[in-house]
Amino acid sequence: MKKKTHSCLAVLAMGMGLNACATTEAEIKPYPPAAEGQVRHVIQLPQQANEYDFKVELIAGKTMEVDCNHRSLGGEWQEKTVQGWGYTYYELEKVGPGISTMMACPPGSTRQAFVQVGGEPLLVRYNSKLPLVLYAPSDVEVRYRVWAAGLESVPAPRR
């Protein structure tokens, strides 16, 4: 197990994705298979000294042709539980149509860009002991970001 952790940290240090860490079939056996039209994404996070200082942000979206307007897609992650096991997983059932501001854009301003599912970002608990299992439509790209707390806490002012 220790060897797996070191290889994951080496991958992280090289700037590659955290999902390069292997997850065994036994680790994901309790989780349901992906429904038709869905894909199961499994992320194995490397062990951290104090995992309470970390959160994982779940990001879903599509690469689309956009212009100068701000865009987002409709949809929302749902937290679910594996029956009989108590393990948490996250599902994005469907992604709605794009939402856009309606400003006039200069000619030639179109480009390919990643457009996120809108709403509040979903930050979930960092836990290297269990895989982070996500289900999303097959035409949606799933990304994630690891957030770390600052080194010191700051006292709140009294009034």
Residue type for 116, please? Q
**6 occurs within a structural domain:** yes
Task: Establish if 140 belongs to a structural domain.
Answer: yes
pLDDT (tens digit, 9 = 90+) per residue, 52-85? 999 999 999 999 888 888 888 999 999 999 999 9
Listed as ranges, residues in the chain with pLDDT below 50 are 1-20
Is residue 159 situated within a structural domain? no
Does any domain span residue 155?
no
Give the closest residue to 120 by CA, choosing from 57, 70, 67: 57
In a domain, 36, yes or no: yes
Residue 105 lies inside a defined structural domain of this protein: yes
Our count of domains for the chain comes to: 1
Contact 72, 115 (CB under 8 A): yes
User: What pLDDT sits at residue 11?
Assistant: 32
For 34, the domain range is 2-148
49 assigned to some structural domain:
yes
Q: pTM to 2 decimals?
A: 0.78
pLDDT of residue 3: 33
Q: How far apart are CA 149 and CA 114, in angstroms?
A: 27
Tell me the CATH number at 44: 2.60.40.550
Q: Which of 122, 121, 77, 118 is nearest to 98 (CA)?
A: 118
10 within some domain: yes
- What does DSSP assign to residue 35? P
DSSP strand E in 15-140: where?
Answer: 38-43, 54-66, 71-73, 78-81, 88-91, 98-100, 111-116, 122-125, 132-137
Of 28, 55, 53, the closest CA to residue 135 belongs to 28
